[in-house]
Chain A
Amino acid sequence: MAEKKIKMIVAKPGLDGHDRGAKLLSRIFAEAGMEVIYTGLRQTPEMIVAAAVQEDADVVGLSSLSGVHNYFFPRVVELLREKQMNDVLVVGGGIIPKEDIPGLKQAGVAEIFGPGTNTETIVNFIKENVRK
């Protein structure tokens, strides 16, 4: 059996105007040996979850800069659960106020990585927590 690759969706829910960070992170994940499906700007949670289903993603990485994370991130988790994809790891990043993090984690987002996080930390977190 070939070595299993980690498949990761990187998506930007909401109406953010740029995706520099998400693109940079996509490249970092690819450099770490993952297969990264980049879906682009202005994604709805439904689009992100449809992509996760069709791509059989192991990880969904969400990025948001405009303050919509409290709605969009939990909604993605909820839709994944509706599709019985509970074992998909959901992580987030972008501009997320510290006080919002506990609520997001409670909603099922595994971790939130703010600006300045060492990229190695993110990669290692994913590798350690992804479904085996």
Chain B
Amino acid sequence: MDTDYVAEILKGSPRAISRVISWLENDDPRASGCMEKIYPHTGRAYILGITGSPGSGKSSLTDKLTQKLRSQGLTVGIVAVDPTSPFTGGAILGDRVRMGDIAMDPGVFIRSMATRGYLGGLAQATSNAVKILDAAGKDIILIETVGVGQDEVDIIRIADTVCLVLVPGLGDVIQSMKAGVMEIADVYVINKSDRPGADQLCAEVTHRVAQDVEIRARQWPPPVVQTVATENEGIDEMADAIQAHRSYLEQSNRLIDKRRERTRDETLQMIHYELFRAIKAYLSRDHRMDQLVSDIMERRENPYRLMHRMLKNYLRLPESDISLNAD
């Protein structure tokens, strides 16, 4: 069965792509076999992140930018993330509403994805979904994050180029001075630029970029472009800015460095996740964890000592690596 799905994905079959993404979302054991086989076919697509606050126009920009990329003959995969309710576990995934014009284009694949409790602006399965679209032959993969606030910056760990979408009217100049999301952009996009305050925002962001010592130390000075997504204005400029950043990354070898860092982080994260899952599964058997928690609650045991004992017992690594300060 696995080989079928892998072959179908490599041929670009939408059904196979979408089914395996579901397996990833559901932690279905069939997913990892597929991922192993498609991995050699990944690494060719260019990955773009679109982030910004809720309602800033990320979906509309994604729609218009995709049309632009399609006109250049490029195929596009889109992963659009929206939040899961912490109360009901449900989600409204509404990004397709703005993507009507590209919905029927066979050169475009759109997948909506709920965060399912994952923080940082993406879903757990997002990076693997990107790999599937990459292996399926999409030239550009666009990740639209959830509407972010100030601190959801995971997109920089996945995307080659990050576009931060800002809109006028969300705060004074202090907002544009803050840390976090304001620092991560390779391209700043001031959307809804037909609204009052757009020019001022543009000036404020331009100043921030020009004055920020850390940003200035980067070889790439992030451009600030103005758009009105609904009117298809400024999209060419946005696409040009993205292309310029891509050329910079490729010519300076920064792209390789970036992807090397990403591979390292991702690999460590996968090990972390799987180790956690395995130990949790083991401890959940026969009420072991319940017993341990009771011991801790009654102060017969403490979580620090327990943690060290767990690592010692279940990891075969040199003692010096696992027991930092065990008794």
Contacts from A to B (Cβ < 8 Å) = 1-5, 7, 26-27, 29-40, 42-44, 46-47, 50-51, 53-56, 83-85
Residue of B nearest to A48 (CB): B103
Residue of B nearest to A4 (CB): B26
Complex alpha-carbon distance, A112 and B85, angstroms: 28
Complex alpha-carbon distance, A83 and B15, angstroms: 8
* 8 A-B pairs whose Cβ atoms sit less than 8 Å apart in the complex: A7-B22, A27-B92, A30-B91, A35-B114, A37-B112, A39-B100, A51-B96, A54-B111
Cβ-defined contact, A33 with B14, below 8 A: no
Residue of A nearest to B109 (CB): A54
Pick the contact of A31 from B22, B90, B100, B114 — CB < 8 Å?
B90
In the complex, chain A residues whose CB is within 8 Å of the CB of B100: 39-40, 42-43, 47
Is B88 at the interface (CB under 8 A from chain A)? yes
Residue of A nearest to B14 (CB): A53
Most central of A4, A30, A37 by chain B CB within 10 Å = A37
Q: Which of B85-99 contact A (CB under 8 A)?
A: 85, 88-94, 96-97
In the complex, chain A residues whose CB is within 8 Å of the CB of B27: 1-2
Most central of A27, A32, A35, A53 by chain B CB within 10 Å = A35
Pick the contact of B26 from A1, A47, A51, A84 — CB < 8 Å?
A1
Q: Which secondary structure dominates where chain B touches chain A?
A: mixed
Q: Which of B57-90 contact A (CB under 8 A)?
A: 84-85, 88-90
Pick the contact of B29 from A1, A34, A51, A55 — CB < 8 Å?
A1
Cβ-defined contact, A38 with B97, below 8 A: yes
Total interface residues in chain B, CB < 8 Å:
32
Complex alpha-carbon distance, A37 and B322, angstroms: 45
Is B28 at the interface (CB under 8 A from chain A)? yes
Pick the contact of A2 from B19, B26, B90 — CB < 8 Å?
B26
Is B315 at the interface (CB under 8 A from chain A)? no
Residue of B nearest to A31 (CB): B88
Having A5-B25, A27-B92, A40-B97, one finds 20 other A-B pairs with CB under 8 Å, namely: A1-B28, A4-B26, A5-B114, A31-B85, A31-B90, A32-B88, A32-B90, A35-B114, A36-B91, A37-B93, A39-B100, A42-B100, A43-B100, A51-B96, A51-B103, A51-B110, A53-B18, A54-B18, A55-B112, A83-B15
Is B317 at the interface (CB under 8 A from chain A)? no
In the complex, chain B residues whose CB is within 8 Å of the CB of A4: 26
Shortest CB–CB separation between residue B11 and chain A, in angstroms?
15
Cβ-defined contact, B14 with A54, below 8 A: yes
In the complex, chain B residues whose CB is within 8 Å of the CB of A27: 92
Cβ-defined contact, B22 with A56, below 8 A: yes
In the complex, chain A residues whose CB is within 8 Å of the CB of B93: 35-38
Is B21 at the interface (CB under 8 A from chain A)? yes
Cβ-defined contact, B18 with A50, below 8 A: no
Residue of B nearest to A7 (CB): B22
Complex alpha-carbon distance, A53 and B112, angstroms: 12
Complex alpha-carbon distance, A47 and B94, angstroms: 15
Pick the contact of B92 from A36, A50, A85 — CB < 8 Å?
A36
